[in-house]
Amino acid sequence: MNLSSTSPTNHQLNLTNLKQGPIIFALILGAFVSLLNETLLGNALPVLMTELNVTASTIQWLTTAYMLVVGILVPITALLQQWFTTRQMFLSAMLTFLIGTIIAALSPSFFFLLIGRIIQAFGTGLMLPLLMNTILIIYPSEKRGAAMGLVGLVMLFAPAIGPTLSGVIIDSLEWRWLFYMVIPLTVISILIAFKYLQNVTELKRPKVDYLSIILSTLGFGGIVYSFSASGDLGWSDLKVLLAIIIGVLSLLFFTIRQLKIENPILDLRAFSFPMFTLPVVIMFIVMMTMFSTMALLPMFLQTVLLVTAFKSGLIMLPGSIISGIMGPIAGSLFDKYRAKSIIIPGIILVALGVFLFTTLDKDTSVLQLIVMHSLLMLGIIFVMTSQTFGLNQLTPNLYPHGTAIFNTLSQVAGAIGTALGISKMSSGTSAYMEESNHPSNPIEKINGLTSGFHDSFMMALYLIVIALVVSLFIKDQKKKN
């Protein structure tokens, strides 16, 4: 399989000859199966604990390691896209993902399953920034909204449908089918890309600064690990504390170095564009809210309302479908109207959905939950257009860096949001039970859990209010081609 070809320069590339449809289909299908795997094991973890004879703290590494590797790899993709062609990057990413999926599907033990997940994550980390950067190049600014709407669909729909899909599979088939079903989708994406994907970037092959790569790995890796592990180990655990200290210090030195060297691996000068920086802040907060909700809502359903994992997945399915339908529509609206007129209503819908979650109790009906979750997902899909708005403000040489920044911070936001949400829920539950006169009463335990969930969702509401305030400062500027 020939992954390489002559790299076109910007003046050589004739965008009108590109077959945009097949290219985007291959890229989006690849991104879909990659992101689906972030949450696909959610409902399967208890089964895997029994099948593989491991503890809860051990099995969580199947999820934590995936996010950790993606969080580490994404910042480096801006550099890789200057060294390798579009075809090389995509086909290498999907072939790596395919190998990891096959290893996971055939795993005889937990160790091999974890190795398969890590290899999958390498493919995902390469895939996501490449998708966004390719869209920025092959679509003019006035048409990017609709294309990026499809990206938003994938980024929301794939992780959201993961728990539902895993519930169905675990209920009727063995766990290996979680990986078997991904294999044909991955192969289709590879075949389409091999036939239609063209190189759309100019190779510059800048000098590689290995110290920056080490600092980036320690920085983003340390932060993602610390927040992911804190849910199991607690913030007082020495490993968690050391990880976050190393992560923060490494990121500080990484930032200083990127601003000093001639060829940074992640060009932080993108933040010199105020209308890029504001959407980054908004997306970071909204991604924290989305990932924490995806973790907390199934827990509420299964611990307070006592529904099965499969049913909890079905309750969240309508919201996922709505986000899938509205993704391209939100992108098209972004192309036609001012960014603020799309982003601000989206944040208000998210705020409304989170506020309604603060009213949850043991008498909340399934219909109410579906409406709440659907409002949240509808709002998030509109807020996703802020990513397109931010990237449109950058000059073309900063596109790979801008997409890497957004994707990296999405992974970090997911880890932080999930950890903070669960920690706040746990502390709220403990505080309630300490004040209870009947802590052993089953009803009081339910009330304690409900109180914890209220505290967690209230914290999320405060964060969304901050995002709303930030969005008021967005100024529509002329889009750059």
User: For residues 138 and 15, is the Cβ–Cβ distance under 8 A?
Assistant: yes
Q: What does the alpha-carbon distance between residue 52 and residue 42 come to, in Å, rounded to a whole number?
A: 16
Does the predicted TM-score (pTM) go above 0.85? no
For CA atoms 348, 352, 354, 358, give the dihedral sign. positive
The DSSP symbol for 262 reads S
> H-helix or E-strand containing 241?
helix 238-260
What is the pLDDT at residue 5?
A: 42
- CA-angle at 327, arms to 326 and 333, nearest 5°: 80
Q: What does the alpha-carbon distance between residue 23 and residue 27 come to, in Å, rounded to a whole number?
A: 6
End-to-end, the C-alpha distance of the chain in Å comes to 34
User: Average per-residue pLDDT in the chain?
Assistant: 80
What is the pLDDT at residue 95?
A: 92
The whole-number average pLDDT for the span 177-202 is: 83
User: For residues 431 and 423, is the Cβ–Cβ distance under 8 A?
Assistant: no
Q: What's the pLDDT tens digit per position in 400-438? A: 788 778 877 887 787 778 778 877 887 788 888 887 777
The whole-number average pLDDT for the span 214-236 is: 79
Q: Which CATH class is domain 16-206+263-471?
A: mainly alpha
The DSSP symbol for 5 reads -
Question: Is 323 in a helix, a strand, or coil?
Answer: helix
> Closest Cα to residue 63, out of 201, 253, 232, 204?
232
Q: What are phi and psi of 99, to 5 degrees?
A: -60, -45
Q: What's the pLDDT tens digit per position in 378-393? A: 898 888 888 888 888 8
Provide the residue ranges of all domains of the chain, joining segments of one domain with +: 16-206+263-471, 207-262
- What residue type is assigned to position 22 of the chain? P
The whole-number average pLDDT for the span 250-276 is: 86
Residues in the chain: 481
What is the pLDDT at residue 59?
A: 72
Residues 6+ apart with CB under 8 A from 397: none
Weakest-pLDDT range from 212-216, 276-280, 473-477: 473-477
Weakest-pLDDT range from 117-131, 150-164, 201-215: 150-164
What is the pLDDT at residue 106?
A: 92
What is the pLDDT at residue 10?
A: 42
What is the pLDDT at residue 426?
A: 78
Count of other CB atoms within 10 angstroms of residue 431: 14
Q: What's the pLDDT tens digit per position in 294-330? A: 778 877 887 788 887 677 778 888 887 887 778 778 8
Q: What does the alpha-carbon distance between residue 37 and residue 444 come to, in Å, rounded to a whole number?
A: 37
Residues 6+ apart with CB under 8 A from 294: 39, 159, 160, 163, 316, 418
Q: What's the pLDDT tens digit per position in 38-76? A: 777 766 776 787 788 876 667 767 777 777 787 777 777
